[in-house]
């Protein structure tokens, strides 16, 4: 059995633009309901974008 490891690099600006354009529609497409609830609890907009970016890269 082979295991492969990779690194996904995504710019926060890219995700920020997608969130501005598509808002909740983008979040619903890539995140689970629990992830959306956790992100909505974050007060800092910068931190929210970082969290969405990290979840997007992980998936």
The pLDDT tens digits for 41-51 are 999 999 999 99
pLDDT band at 4 (very low <50, low <70, confident <90, very high): confident
Distance, CA of 26 to CA of 56 (rounded, Å): 11
- Tell me if the pTM is above 0.75: yes
Reading the block at residue 45, the tokens are 């907009």
């Amino acid at each position: 059995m082979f295991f492969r490891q990779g690194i996904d690099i995504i710019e926060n600006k890219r995700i920020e633009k997608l969130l501005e354009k598509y808002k909740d529609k983008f979040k619903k497409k890539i995140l689970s309901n629990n992830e959306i609830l956790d992100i909505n609890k974050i007060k800092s907009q910068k931190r929210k974008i970082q969290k969405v970016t990290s979840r997007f890269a992980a998936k």
